[in-house]
A and B are shown apart, each in its own frame.
Chain A
Amino acid sequence: MPRPAISSDVFRAVADETRRAMLDRLREEELPVLALAEDFDLSLPAISQHLRVLKEAGLVADRQEGRQRMYRLTPRPLTEIFEWVSHYEDFWRGRLSALRRHLKEKS
């Protein structure tokens, strides 16, 4: 039974509601830490901690711009999530095909 490659980091990163909201926000535009902290009404250490988890999962990247650190979304690791949903879809598609076979054989 093949066990799909799933990085626990990505799941850990998106398990938190605030971090999911941060990903949604960063999907719109690149933002400095301060703006994110304001958007989410969080302290700088708290927002930095969330960003660290997202960065370790490869979901965001940062760069220095003047005195600000800018964060942007790097969604490639979300392909693992895509696979999670795809397997679900495959499961039901397989079952619905089995239903078709069942109907054919028993009719």
Chain B
Amino acid sequence: MSTELRFVEEYPYPPDRVWRALTTAEAIADWLMPNNFEPRVGHRFEMRTKPAPGFDGIVKCEVTVLDPPKQLAFTWRGGGLDTVATFTLEPIDTGTRLTLVHSGFKGMKGWMVSKILGGGWRSKILRVYLPAAVGRIGPGGRYTAATLANQVSCSHE
């Protein structure tokens, strides 16, 4: 059963360049969140976003894998989550393929992720039920980490 979120992106830059963007505090602040990251296994750092009910706005992290320029992993804890984010880089002809896996969803959240991403529930939900739900999502709404935390905080777990 899949209990992870997986994303694959290709960027027209060499792995070294992408690696720097993933492992430099200033760069991470630019594309993800303000932080005190250091490229060292075991380093504990925090990323800060807007607080929300049930979430103090702090994502607590610890570097667990640092294998330049191939793989970076850190824990992602806060707002009721105890998960891991893993970034894997591969050189390709056109630059770099980045695979991001957000894993470790347990209990109810693991079930929710697996129901949606595996086992065919998604296709049924998309086909039959989602049209009714789409109306409730604001037009062009971009969801930030704070909104995300909001969701997590109302999950009763």
Chain A residues with a Cβ under 8 A of chain B: 1-6, 8, 11-12, 14-15, 17, 20, 75-76, 78-85, 87-96, 98-103, 106-107
Contact = CB atoms under 8 A, between A and B. Distances in A.
Find the residue from B21, B117, B145 having the highest chain A CB count within 10 A.
Answer: B21
A96 B5 contact: no
Interface residues of B, number: 48
A53 to B, nearest CB: 12
Contact of B13 (A6, A85, A92, A103): A103
A85 B21 contact: no
A23 to B, nearest CB: 9
Main secondary structure of the interface of B (DSSP, over half): helix
A81 B112 contact: yes
Interface of B: 5, 7, 9, 11, 13, 17-18, 21, 27, 30-32, 98, 100, 102, 107-108, 111-113, 115-117, 121-122, 124-125, 129-130, 132-133, 136-138, 141-148, 150-151, 154-157
Contact of A98 (B30, B108, B150, B155): B30
B154 A6 contact: yes
Given A88-B148, A92-B100, A106-B21, A8 B130 contact: no
A14 B108 contact: yes
Contacts of B157: 15
Contact of B156 (A3, A4, A8): A8
Contacts of A94: 142-144
